[in-house]
A and B are shown apart, each in its own frame.
Chain A
Amino acid sequence: MIAALVAIGAPVLAALASIGRLTRFAATALSRLLQPPWYPAQLAQQMLVIGWLSLPVVGLTAIFTGSALAQQIFIGGSRFNAASTVPAVTVIGVVRELGPVLGGLMVAGRVASAMAAELGTMRVTEQIDALVTLRTDPFRWLVGPRILAAVLVMPFLVLVSNALGVMGGWLLATQRLGFNSAQYLATTQRYLEVDDVVSSLVKAGVFGFFIALMGCYHGYHSGGGAAGVGRATTNAVVSSFILILLSNLIITVIVFGS
């Protein structure tokens, strides 16, 4: 009986401890963001790395997914004479869900892993200890700029993702499915609402926070040499994926559930 309780209790306690450590890490990072010294050059560099360098992968994902979505809606809609809903459903699907979620997942795969690997390497090569001995707070120098940069640039990336996703649907619909270009764009515009865009941008900011938080948290606490850095990288990607999908569900239910 006691052995069974231990078997259940130990992982539960470990999970709670992990949540506590992560919460404290996030709280420390956010509180340090509000206090000087700030490092604008670090912030600008991270915005470039996260935002500009993620544009190709996010853009390509959006175009391909928007096109595939339009094709699927056309085929599915044809079964009950609703093929004309392609522009409306595509824009709603892309802007509300696919743009932010797929954009978030692609950025997580690219950025959370890179952050975890970079900070993990800095940890195991004592560069983080060196920062501290040089009177520089790693939360201000490393973690804060990454989290702030991700929160600031993700909405921009998702806007691009949304636009390219809709464009992918439009391209396929007009070039392959026989839709009239002007009518397609007019329908798209008619069905797109402000709430759709706002929820998309809110999701993007939240996803950006989780991506950078997971990348920094796992990298910062990395240990055990190269294998430890590898584990940190994997954990950063997996946990940011889960948090993106979970937070997406919560935001969707809150914004559109009623």
Chain B
Amino acid sequence: MTPRIELAGVSKRFGSRQVLDGLDVAVMPGESLVIIGGSGTGKSVTLKCILGLIPVDAGSIKVDGQEVAGLKGAALDAHRTRFGMLFQGGALFDSLPVWRNISFALPGSTADRMAAAIDNLARVGLSAEVADLKPAELSGGMQKRVALARAIAARPPIIFFDEPTAGLDPITAAVINRLIRTLVTDLKITAITITHDMASVRLIADRVAMLHAGKIIWNGPLAGLDACDNAYVRQFITGSADGPIQMPGARP
């Protein structure tokens, strides 16, 4: 079967810093891949490279078997119609009410778009009363749900979740995790999630990949995560300060 997303040898450098260094990873249709890794290892950059927000220096990115690295103009726009994205901070448009945020990319009349927005609000467990509020009037958890509703509004076959539980309390984070898992399963979405949160990993992932020093250093099913003997993965999932992963700038 052709992978829905396949990255091979993807490299990206910012100035003197090599962020991605020959990254290889593939995601099958309907699969939920969670990429874990320390801060600044290039997890968000990976997603932005697939979306064409950041150009890659080298390597191949294929979606449904088609090369998408280097796409421009209308072809890039068409490529992006296959994706929904939940940004780390929500990235809701401050100046627009919730319903216009959710229906931003949807065609149709105002009434149709409002109805679609309310339908998607219901999917993420929010009432229609929220529709006319501005994002600044919502709590962090509600903003994440609205951003989630926006990401699924156009029913894209692929959704990226960038740190979906960052900054949320544990209960709200659990609600968001469960919501993501339900949406991915119900809507048969292919998903890539990047997170530090091991609770998210265990709830969302079908498969887990660990990114370190610009490369995927471990990739396997969720069930194999705890039995994994990779020292980097062990240190990450146990949250230990001792191990091969050192914080950038830390004293040896």
Q: Is the CB of B85 within 8 A of A133?
A: yes
Q: Is the CB of B91 within 8 A of A136?
A: no
Pick the interface stretch among B75-83, B173-181, B226-234. B75-83
Q: Render A205-219 as a binary contact track against B, CB cut-off 8 A, 1 for contact.
A: 000000000000000
B5 proximal to A (CB < 8 A): no
Q: Is the CB of B104 within 8 A of A133?
A: no
Cα A131 to Cα B105 in complex, Å, equals 9
CB within 8 Å of B: which residues of A?
A: 121-122, 125-127, 129-136
Q: Is the CB of A126 within 8 A of B88?
A: yes
Q: Which B residues lie within 8 Å of A131 (CB)?
A: 93
B121 proximal to A (CB < 8 A): no
Q: Is the CB of A133 within 8 A of B77?
A: no
13 new A-B pairs (CB below 8 Å) besides A134-B150, A136-B105? A125-B89, A126-B87, A126-B88, A126-B89, A127-B91, A127-B92, A129-B53, A129-B85, A130-B91, A133-B83, A133-B84, A134-B104, A135-B105
What are 24 of the A-B contact pairs (CB < 8 Å)? A125-B89, A127-B93, A127-B94, A129-B48, A129-B53, A129-B85, A129-B87, A130-B91, A130-B92, A130-B93, A131-B93, A132-B51, A132-B53, A133-B51, A133-B80, A133-B83, A133-B85, A134-B104, A134-B105, A134-B150, A135-B77, A135-B80, A136-B104, A136-B105
Q: Taking chain A's interface residues, is the majority helix, strand, or loop, or is none over half, making it mixed?
A: helix
Cα A136 to Cα B87 in complex, Å, equals 16
Cα A130 to Cα B104 in complex, Å, equals 10
On chain B, the number of residues with a Cβ less than 8 Å from chain A's Cβ atoms is: 19
CB within 8 Å of A: which residues of B?
A: 48, 51, 53, 77, 80-81, 83-85, 87-89, 91-94, 104-105, 150
By beta carbon, the residue of chain B nearest A131 is B93
Cα A127 to Cα B150 in complex, Å, equals 13
Within 8 Å by CB of B80, from A122, A125, A132, lies A132
Cα A79 to Cα B88 in complex, Å, equals 69
Q: Which B residues lie within 8 Å of A122 (CB)?
A: 93-94
Cα A164 to Cα B53 in complex, Å, equals 48
Q: Which A residues lie within 8 Å of B89 (CB)?
A: 125-126
Cα A122 to Cα B87 in complex, Å, equals 13
By beta carbon, the residue of chain A nearest B54 is A129
Cα A133 to Cα B84 in complex, Å, equals 7
Cα A129 to Cα B50 in complex, Å, equals 13
Within 8 Å by CB of A126, from B91, B104, B150, lies B91
Q: Which B residues lie within 8 Å of A129 (CB)?
A: 48, 53, 85, 87, 91
Q: Is the CB of A130 within 8 A of B85?
A: yes
Q: Which B residues lie within 8 Å of A127 (CB)?
A: 91-94
Within 8 Å by CB of A133, from B53, B88, B93, lies B53
Q: How far is the CB of B28 from chain A (nearest CB, A)?
A: 23
Q: Which A residues lie within 8 Å of B51 (CB)?
A: 132-133
Find the residue from A127, A130, A131 having the highest chain B CB count within 10 A.
A130
Q: Which B residues lie within 8 Å of A135 (CB)?
A: 77, 80-81, 105
Cα A131 to Cα B91 in complex, Å, equals 9
Cα A130 to Cα B88 in complex, Å, equals 11
Q: How far is the CB of B86 from chain A (nearest CB, A)?
A: 10
Q: Which A residues lie within 8 Å of B48 (CB)?
A: 129
Cα A125 to Cα B91 in complex, Å, equals 6
Q: Which B residues lie within 8 Å of A132 (CB)?
A: 51, 53, 80
Q: How far is the CB of B238 from chain A (nearest CB, A)?
A: 31
Cα A251 to Cα B91 in complex, Å, equals 42
By beta carbon, the residue of chain B nearest A121 is B94
Cα A76 to Cα B161 in complex, Å, equals 70
By beta carbon, the residue of chain A nearest B83 is A133
Q: Which A residues lie within 8 Å of B104 (CB)?
A: 134, 136
